[in-house]
Amino acid sequence: MKVTIVKEQQVTVMIDGRISVMVLLHRVWKKHPVQVDFLGIYMSNDNKYSAKVHGLIGQFAQEPEVKVYSVHEGADPKKKEAIMEVKGNKLAVTRGWQKDYRRDKKRGSDVYCWFIHNNGKGFVDGSYTNYILPQLDSFLSAL
What tens digit of pLDDT does each residue of 4-34 get?
A: 888 877 888 888 887 888 888 777 777 777 6
Query: Cα separation of 63 and 45, whole Å?
Result: 9
Higher pLDDT, 143 or 99: 99
The per-residue pLDDT for 47 is 62
What dihedral do alpha carbons 74, 75, 78, 79 form, nearest 10°? -50
Q: Which of 104-108, 115-119, 130-134 has the highest mean pLDDT?
A: 115-119
pLDDT at 91 over 70: yes
Q: Residue 131's pLDDT band (boundaries 50, 70, 90)?
A: confident
Q: What is the pLDDT of residues 42-79, one digit of tens each?
A: 877 676 777 788 787 788 777 789 999 999 999 898 89
Phi-psi region of 138 (alpha: psi -120 to 50; beta: other; left: phi over 0): alpha
pLDDT of residue 80: 95
What's the mean pLDDT when you consider all of the chain? Answer: 82
Q: Phi/psi at 128 (nearest 5 deg)? A: -60, -25
Instruction: Look at residue 139 in the predicted model and tell me its pLDDT.
Output: 61
Q: What integer is the mean pLDDT of 116-139?
A: 79
